A and B are shown apart, each in its own frame.
Chain A
């Protein structure tokens, strides 16, 4: 038993080191003034200041936030309303909705992006707009996670029963949904939304295929300038990682708040 435990710990440390090492080296490299020998010759914040004050990088981050936030918000609203209608009025439709929402999990992101591009690019409709195409593709991309998260939250609070209780007190189903259900499931909703947001914000492949020339996010900006200044590139990567880390902390906090509520 003890031997097994020891081996387990060694394996865990090995895995952790394997995962953390590239990040650690990138972090050190981003702070080093020059690194030509085994250890860096000195440390500097120069590359971080350079990145933070770089308008193009800043705009890239902002575009990345917008490109990730809009699909997440749209998808959440659409699925929340659709699930409300399904639970309250058309419970038999739930299996079909589930099927539709789960389909994107079977499609690789690059294949999805290429398919969308080949279907809509080159046309004269509004759907041929690359940015719109990107946002719509992102919507499809975060469908499964959003659907599953919202569905679980709605069933966990027994939506139907609560709405019945509200209607016995004189409230319409929709009023009850807005006043009772949405605030109740909001922490779960935010949690799922943040996970989806982090996934989309970190995306490189889909945006590169669909709209890299028209819509430069921080990821595509860094990729483009990767060979110009490698230390500044590392600083940019670290900033983006920190941003993603912040989102993960927020997810963790909302999740633990939810757990505490449930325990109460």
Chain B
């Protein structure tokens, strides 16, 4: 049986239904990300699980117990908030000890556990500092330390890295994952950043419009999106309607379905390759843009715009207006329901 079960979770605010029946199973020690655009309901789902919002329908099962009606204090869940929410009147040490004092842990043990956790997050030298004296990254690490020091059954992270600059964010992503693995703590991570979700998670749960679109490992979600939304949200797929596909590839496709093609599976060349089981057509480079080590081309094929990504190599540069041959293996064209 799964460690955590979301069973038919529904949540409405006045007339607006934000969660429309969420079912999800999470295993013990797993790191799962709730990924989706702003307003899709992922944070609401997390807050409902934490007990900070009441659900309109459904149940939360944690370690075999139904916790749906329990107050947040009694759920044994740790949470890191987007704005850190550290207690400004307390030092780092006092922030960490707060939860342990409430649980009436003996003073000696509190000292030990606080010291251990501060070592894990690398903030031993900041234990006497107040939150206002710490940088954003340090505050985030204190928030994480405060959430794990009580040894909760589950750790919830609500977009904890969204207010942090890109470089520090990368470091913290790795650090959070390292700590999670070291403690083997079941973690639910909310983010709208697909790269972050892909990098950190054992599984990704794609949420859209209050419903789960797809759940799977990062590789599964990336290589095999099941819906049009999943394809367009993850990996910047080219998503073509049946009409666009027929126009560009001169091939038949059933109505009301869409074709998803990853930009990096589109090969560009100056001559036709005559590959088997591939679609090959001539197009015109409309625009090329450098995105880090990737060159992103927009190719016009019979009036249909296709994105193609190639690694930055000097011998494969095409100028705007150049004629190029594109080649896509048929197995890389994924037919999805609309």
Enumerate chain A interface residues (CB-CB to B < 8 A). Answer: 157-158, 161-162, 164-172, 175, 179-180, 183-184, 261, 264
> Can you list, as one digit per residue, whether each of B75-102 has a CB less than 8 Å from chain A (1) or not (0)?
0011101010111111000000011001
Please pick, from B78, B83, B89, the residue contacting A161 in the complex, using a CB distance under 8 A: B83
Given contacts A164-B52, A171-B98, contact A184 B85 (CB under 8 A): no
CA–CA, A41 and B186, complex, Å: 87
Given A168-B79, A170-B102, 6 more pairs with CB closer than 8 A: A164-B72, A165-B79, A167-B73, A168-B78, A169-B78, A169-B99
Q: Which residues of B contact A162 (CB under 8 A)?
A: 85, 87
Question: Is A164 in contact with B133, judged by CB distance below 8 angstroms?
Answer: no
Q: Which residues of B contact A179 (CB under 8 A)?
A: 98
* Interface mask (B27-58 → A, CB under 8 Å = 1, otherwise 0): 00000000000000000000000111000000
B87, B89, B103, B132: the one within 8 Å of A165 (CB): B87
Please indicate which of the listed interface residues B83, B87, B90 has the most CB atoms of chain A within 10 Å of its own CB. Answer: B87
In angstroms, how far is the closest chain A Cβ from the Cβ of B159? 13
Q: Does B150 contact A (CB under 8 A)?
A: yes
* 8 Å CB interface, B182-227 against A: none
B146 an interface residue at 8 Å Cβ cutoff? yes
Chain B's interface size range is: 20 to 34
Complex: how many Å from CA A168 to CA B46?
A: 13
Query: Chain A at the B interface: mostly helix, strand, loop or mixed?
Result: helix
Q: Shortest Cβ distance from A159 into chain B, in angstroms?
A: 11
In the complex, which of the residues A168, A172, A184, A264 has the most CB atoms of chain B within 10 Å of its own CB atom? A168
Closest Cβ of chain A to B145, distance in Å, is 12
When C-beta atoms are compared, the residue in chain A nearest to B72 turns out to be A167
A selection of 8 A-B contacts at a CB cut-off of 8 Å is: A164-B52, A165-B81, A170-B103, A170-B150, A171-B98, A184-B88, A184-B89, A261-B132
In Å, the complex CA distance between A170 and B86 comes to 15
Please give, as numbers and ranges, the residues of chain B lying within 8 Å of A264 by CB-CB distance.
130, 132-133
**Across chains A and B, which 3 residue pairs bring their CB atoms closest together, nearest first?**
A169-B99, A165-B85, A170-B102
Tell me which residues across on chain B come within 8 A of A175, comparing CB atoms: 102
Best-buried of B77, B79, B98 by chain A (most CB within 10 Å): B98
Give B100-130 as 1s and 0s: 1 = Cβ < 8 Å from A's Cβ atoms. Answer: 0011000000000000000000000000001
Asked whether, in the complex, the Cβ of A183 is within 8 Å of the Cβ of B89, the reply is yes
Q: Which chain B residue lies CB-closest to A264?
A: B132
How distant is the Cα of A162 from the Cα of B81 in the complex, in angstroms? 10
With A164-B81, A261-B132 already in contact, the answer to whether A171 and B87 are too (CB < 8 A) is: no
Docked Cα-Cα span, A116 to B77, in Å, equals 53
Among B52, B88, B98, B130, point to the contact of A169 (Cβ < 8 A).
B98
Closest beta carbon of chain B to A199's beta carbon, Å? 28
A170's closest neighbor in chain B, by CB? B102
Alpha-carbon separation in the docked complex, A117 to B205 (Å): 68
- Residues of B close to A183: CB separation below 8 A: 89
Complex interface: chain B residues within 8 A of A168 (CB): 50, 52, 72-73, 77-79, 147
CA of A165 to CA of B99 in the docked complex: distance in angstroms? 10
Kindly state the separation between the CA atoms of A179 and B146 in the bound complex, as whole angstroms.
16
Q: Out of A158, A170, A171, A261, name the residue touching B85 (CB < 8 Å).
A: A158
A39 to B183, CA, bound (A): 84
Output the least CB separation between A179 and chain B (Å): 8
Residues of B within 8 A of A167 (CB): 51-52, 71-73
Report A-chain residues with C-beta under 8 Å of the C-beta of B52: 164, 167-168
Give the CA-CA distance A171 to B147 in the complex, in Å.
Answer: 13
Q: Which residues of A contact B50 (CB under 8 A)?
A: 168
Contact of A158 among B73, B83, B98 (CB under 8 A): B83
Q: A171-B102, A172-B73, A264-B133 are in contact. Are A166 and B83 (CB under 8 A)?
A: no
